[in-house]
Structure 1
């Protein structure tokens, strides 16, 4: 007779799926709600790449399935965006529509439903300049006011260091994660030919989500 061991509860529980915010009971179960919203063209490229390389489908089969499911996506999946605390949209830089990986920009919609780091510190005389690699502004998302933080894929380490400092200095437990020497995988992504690329937009997105996960644990301490 085998004895079933009693597992220790995990500090974090991460749930992903298509209908995670579809009911009030489900929405109330999360401390942090994140919605991934790439442009549909980019999402299609990602899905075709994954399903042809890893699941044995042809590109035509994948696209046909996406078209078949589009009415359900429009009716049931995309409306859940309104319930998220953070909307993450990776997208290609202007004029680089074929870019699907390491140099993608990111647009982060930060709703006031949870307290975010004070990113207003990054506003400087260059704010609003379309050539700036980091932009912070106000907008509306699904008719509600939000802060929007954008980071270009071609941003340099020097340009993103200030953002990382804002995130990490507010949360002592994050400092070891922010240390690139002790956490070399931060923002790393596999390129199209298998090489490892560094994405600062991805690194900042990872840090912001980790920031909120650690903030949530403080509530219960």
Structure 2
């Protein structure tokens, strides 16, 4: 609401800014959300450079969005891009999830990205969807709701089964989502053991987190972005 006594020039500037925001909302989203998506990767870089205070600030900020369990996270500047829980416990021997998630790495292991692989795939794919929407001239039709539900369902199943496994067996190297014996039986054990077991990069669990996160992120973008554009266009047309 415009305050009484507001000058016409001030009202004109406010209207100009408002219409610019409505017109450029997608670019603003790409920049702002892009920073949100990219900053978790800055945390290990800062740790590697010895800038621990800002790195810890980023880990603390993104801990509100992610469990940050190290065995399900990527590491930079270390020997491997991911580590098993048994490898991590050689230097960080904790069982409690709150203590376990506090491990960010060391000079040998490298330092973990500030959120897990599933969060990387989910949030980044939404940003990529927004970029493709912009490059397409914002001409997408909204994804049908039923199609979005189908794309979101795999992540719901994968995440829920991981949660149930952790609830029943604890955060450890055990349970039906650790050894995936059901998948071994389903495929006749034709694939390498490392594919079935654990969370390592390239394993079944790892692939499921990446794929389901990407499906959800792209599905959300395909559903929400066209509606967002339509709403912004409608507000621009208001007198």
TM-score between both structures, scaled by the size of structure 1:
0.32
Choose between structure 1 and 2: higher strand proportion.
1
TM-score between both structures, scaled by the size of structure 2:
0.30
RCO higher in structure (CA 8 A, sep ≥6): 2
